[in-house]
């Protein structure tokens, strides 16, 4: 590692203690950028990377709300406005008990590069709360969302910062948040994406992240002259991203044999399709967070407390959460003949897991490239809101497909240009960086 990059990583660690996920995200990107910073000393002297690891703004606030028993509950809310060089801050909101400042900073940092790769004018941001939706009533979720927005509304806007969903935040929560924003501002605007279809949402947004992951994986397979037809696929997670991915893999002739939740994973040798895919929506809406329910309903194998990486699969799509696949899991996948790992979640693979995939030269793509279809379709929702004109399903899906194909090509072309053919990690990091860095250079020291 160059002295410049190791010094930068050391500074980030010293300045942001107890934020291991943020360190991990920065380390991965900074290592990829070594060669760029070498070739372009102007980025070093303008301290572009030093600026990019410092959020433009962080808002942290109290979220008080009343539970169904009449007891006061207090959560913590955040919005990280990471980088606005190429557009308004854009990125999801996560409601999960594991949410901390460090987790959201890693997600916001990743989002900057991802949004740049989409080619749409969106800066990077992320937010959320340590609120746990598990087991909460609809009334509790609504009161929480209203209280959350009562503070957040003053920091966001359709040309300032446009939040959306992530873990624990779907159309229902976006609805409660949007209703409160409208009430506070007396404005009906495209301030959030992932809205319901009747009130400004875009067709295909719910499916977009998962579909996008599979469109991207399809391009990866094409590089080796292959396709999804007849392939066995291991998916982790069971939420929004996993759902879209399972549906699209099945449409393309692949067979998804696993899903996972915090309680373990299910193995379905016949393949997850039809009503089983529909049931994923019910599982998520139930707020029970159990895939054992799926195993019981469809009488398939359930492996408590385990992750799905020990099964035999040609393709793996990690779609649950960060650091859910380590070096040992990676080796197991390879031993079982896995040829393509395409990330749906954000940073699901640990740094040593990534190294295993890169050293083995299998097809491996980082989430910031392959899961960009969600935010890209959010960008398309923003366009439709600005025009006040909705597009058809075919139009949105066609644009999503085109964007994913372009991101795939950009990653490979950039990797090639910088002498690392086939390395999607470096390709994504470098291409995502260059656009933002050049915009920052143009805009002066801000
Ligand atoms: P959902 O809330 O729809 O589903 C995620 C589910 O996965 C949660 O119910 C969660 O359960 C569960 N989960 C958490 N940890 C694990 C684990 N270790 N193993 C298995 N399941 C687990 O979230 P999304 O599908 O929206 O998000 C999944 C991932 O995709 C996240 O990394 C997110 O950042 C990323 N992503 C999402 C996009 C979107 O548009 N929604 C876009 C791009 C990326 P529990 O709460 O109990 O932990
Ligand atoms: O991680 C992500 O890209 C998302 N959760 C989607 C963000 C968005 O603004 O649609």
Q: Which atom of ligand 2 is nearest to the CA of 115?
A: 3
Residue ID of nearest Cα to ligand 1 atom 28: 320
Tens of pLDDT, residue by residue over 154-197, are 999 999 999 999 999 999 999 999 999 999 999 999 999 999 99
Q: Which atom of ligand 2 is nearest to the CA of 375?
A: 10
What pLDDT score was predicted for residue 305? 97
Q: Which atom of ligand 1 is nearest to the CA of 114?
A: 43
Residues 6 or more apart whose Cβ sits within 8 Å of residue 189: 157, 158, 385
Question: Among the three residues 135, 154, 188, which one is the final residue of a domain in this structure?
Answer: 188
As a whole number of Å, the end-to-end CA separation of the chain is 28
Local confidence band at 1 (pLDDT 50, 70, 90 cut-offs): confident
Residue ID of nearest Cα to ligand 2 atom 3: 375
- Given a contact cutoff of 8 angstroms between Cβ atoms, the answer to whether 179 and 212 are in contact is no
Q: Which atom of ligand 1 is nearest to the CA of 208?
A: 40
Same domain? 282 vs 178:
no
- Whether 380 maps to a domain, the answer reads no
Distance 378 CA to ligand 2 centre (A): 8
User: Mean per-residue pLDDT for 203-222?
Assistant: 98
Residue ID of nearest Cα to ligand 1 atom 36: 345
Site to probe by mutation for ligand 1, drawn from 105, 240, 288, 372 as the one with most ligand atoms within 8 Å of Cβ, is: 240
What pLDDT score was predicted for residue 153? 98
Local confidence band at 229 (pLDDT 50, 70, 90 cut-offs): very high
Residue ID of nearest Cα to ligand 1 atom 29: 345
Same domain? 294 vs 348:
yes
Q: Which of 90, 126, 231, 248 is catalytic?
A: 126
Distance 364 CA to ligand 2 centre (A): 21
Residues spanned by the domain of 180: 55-188
- Whether 34 maps to a domain, the answer reads yes
Same domain? 172 vs 236:
no
Q: Is 185 exposed, middle or buried (0-12, 13-18, 19+ CB in 10 A)?
A: middle
pLDDT above 90: residue 244: yes
* Nearest ligand (C-alpha, residue 132): 1
Same domain? 356 vs 293:
yes
- Whether 412 maps to a domain, the answer reads no
Distance 165 CA to ligand 2 centre (A): 6
Local confidence band at 289 (pLDDT 50, 70, 90 cut-offs): confident
Is 126 an active-site residue? yes
Same domain? 142 vs 23:
no
Local confidence band at 259 (pLDDT 50, 70, 90 cut-offs): very high
pLDDT above 90: residue 205: yes
Using alpha carbons only, give the angle 62, 124, 43 rounded to the nearest 5 degrees: 125
**Cβ of 38: how many Cβ atoms within 10 Å?**
13
Q: Which atom of ligand 1 is nearest to the CA of 168?
A: 2
- Given a contact cutoff of 8 angstroms between Cβ atoms, the answer to whether 400 and 211 are in contact is yes
What the block records as the tokens of 424 is 């999607």
Mean pLDDT over the full length of the chain = 97
Question: Which residues are near ligand 2 (CB < 6 Å)?
Answer: 90-92, 111, 114, 164, 166, 193, 346, 374-375, 378
Q: Which atom of ligand 1 is nearest to the CA of 347?
A: 32
- Given a contact cutoff of 8 angstroms between Cβ atoms, the answer to whether 285 and 138 are in contact is no
pLDDT above 90: residue 44: yes
Distance 173 CA to ligand 2 centre (A): 14
Tens of pLDDT, residue by residue over 387-436, are 999 999 999 999 999 999 999 999 999 999 999 999 999 999 999 999 99
Same domain? 100 vs 151:
yes
Same domain? 361 vs 232:
yes
> CA of 41: how far to CAs of 4, 29, 33, 82, in Å?
11, 17, 12, 23
Same domain? 271 vs 308:
yes
What pLDDT score was predicted for residue 287? 82
Same domain? 222 vs 318:
yes
Residue ID of nearest Cα to ligand 1 atom 34: 346
Question: Among the three residues 370, 387, 409, which one is the final residue of a domain in this structure?
Answer: 370
Distance 165 CA to ligand 1 centre (A): 10
* Helix/strand/coil percent split, the chain, to 5: 50, 15, 30
Question: Which residues are near ligand 1 (CB < 6 Å)?
Answer: 92, 96, 165-168, 209, 236-237, 239-241, 260-262, 284, 289, 319-321, 324, 344-346, 371, 374
% of the chain beyond a pLDDT of 90: 98
User: Mean per-residue pLDDT for 37-61?
Assistant: 97
- Whether 376 maps to a domain, the answer reads no
- Whether 39 maps to a domain, the answer reads yes
Residue ID of nearest Cα to ligand 2 atom 9: 91
- Whether 38 maps to a domain, the answer reads yes
User: Mean per-residue pLDDT for 33-50?
Assistant: 97
Local confidence band at 286 (pLDDT 50, 70, 90 cut-offs): confident
User: Mean per-residue pLDDT for 56-79?
Assistant: 98
What the block records as the tokens of 410 is 């950009």
Tell me how many domains the chain contains.
Answer: 3
Local confidence band at 130 (pLDDT 50, 70, 90 cut-offs): very high
Let me know how long the chain is: 446
- Whether 228 maps to a domain, the answer reads yes
Residue 285 sits in a domain whose CATH number is 3.40.50.720
Same domain? 222 vs 356:
yes
What pLDDT score was predicted for residue 59? 98
**Partners of 236 in the β-ladder:** 318
Distance 274 CA to ligand 1 centre (A): 22
Question: Among the three residues 316, 347, 370, which one is the final residue of a domain in this structure?
Answer: 370
Residue ID of nearest Cα to ligand 1 atom 5: 239
pLDDT above 90: residue 71: yes
Tens of pLDDT, residue by residue over 331-381, are 999 999 999 999 999 999 999 999 999 999 999 999 999 999 999 999 999
Site to probe by mutation for ligand 1, drawn from 99, 321, 325, 345 as the one with most ligand atoms within 8 Å of Cβ, is: 321
Same domain? 338 vs 215:
yes
- Whether 389 maps to a domain, the answer reads no
pLDDT above 90: residue 65: yes
Residue 95 sits in a domain whose CATH number is 3.40.50.10860
In sign, the C-alpha dihedral spanning 269, 271, 274, 278 is positive
Same domain? 212 vs 358:
yes
């Amino acid at each position: 590692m160059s002295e410049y990059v190791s010094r930068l990583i050391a500074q980030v660690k010293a300045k942001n203690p107890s934020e291991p996920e943020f360190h991990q995200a920065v380390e991965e990107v900074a290592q990829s950028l070594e060669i760029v910073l070498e070739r372009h000393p102007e980025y070093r002297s303008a301290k572009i990377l030093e600026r990019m690891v410092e959020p433009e703004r962080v808002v942290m606030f109290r979220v008080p709300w009343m539970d169904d028993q009449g007891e006061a509950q207090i959560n913590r809310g955040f919005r990280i406005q990471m980088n606005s060089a190429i557009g308004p801050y854009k990125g999801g909101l996560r409601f999960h008990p594991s949410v901390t400042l460090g987790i959201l900073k890693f997600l916001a940092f990743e989002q900057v590069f991802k949004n740049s790769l989409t080619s749409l004018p969106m800066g990077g941001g992320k937010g959320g709360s340590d609120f746990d939706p598990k087991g909460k009533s609809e009334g509790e979720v609504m009161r929480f969302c209203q209280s959350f927005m009562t503070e957040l509304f003053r920091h966001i806007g359709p040309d300032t910062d446009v939040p959306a969903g992530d873990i624990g935040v779907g159309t229902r929560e976006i609805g409660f948040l949007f209703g409160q924003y409208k009430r506070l501002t007396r404005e009906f605007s495209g301030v959030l994406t992932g809205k319901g279809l009747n009130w400004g949402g875009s067709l295909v947004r719910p499916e977009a992240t998962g579909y996008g992951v599979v469109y991207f994986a399809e391009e990866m397979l094409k590089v080796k002259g292959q396709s999804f037809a007849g392939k066995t696929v291991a998916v982790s997670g069971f939420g929004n991203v996993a759902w879209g991915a399972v549906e699209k893999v099945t449409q393309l002739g692949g067979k998804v044999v696993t899903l996972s939740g915090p309680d373990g994973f299910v193995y379905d040798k016949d393949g997850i399709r039809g009503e089983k895919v529909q049931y994923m929506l019910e599982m998520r809406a139930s707020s029970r967070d159990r895939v054992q329910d799926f195993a019981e309903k469809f009488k398939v194998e359930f492996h408590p407390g385990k992750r799905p990486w020990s099964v035999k699969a040609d393709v793996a799509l990690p779609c649950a959460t960060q650091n859910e696949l380590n070096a040992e899991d990676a080796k197991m996948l390879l031993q079982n003949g896995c040829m393509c790992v395409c990330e749906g979640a954000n940073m699901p693979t640990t740094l040593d897991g990534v190294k295993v995939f890169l050293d083995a030269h299998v097809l491996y793509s980082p989430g910031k490239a392959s899961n960009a279809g969600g935010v890209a379709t959010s960008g398309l929702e923003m366009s439709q809101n600005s025009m006040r004109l909705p597009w058809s399903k075919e139009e949105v899906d066609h644009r999503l497909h085109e964007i994913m194909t372009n991101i795939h090509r950009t990653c490979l072309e950039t990797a090639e240009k910088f002498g690392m053919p086939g390395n999607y990690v470096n390709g994504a990091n470098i291409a995502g960086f260059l656009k933002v860095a050049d915009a920052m250079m143009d805009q002066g020291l801000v």
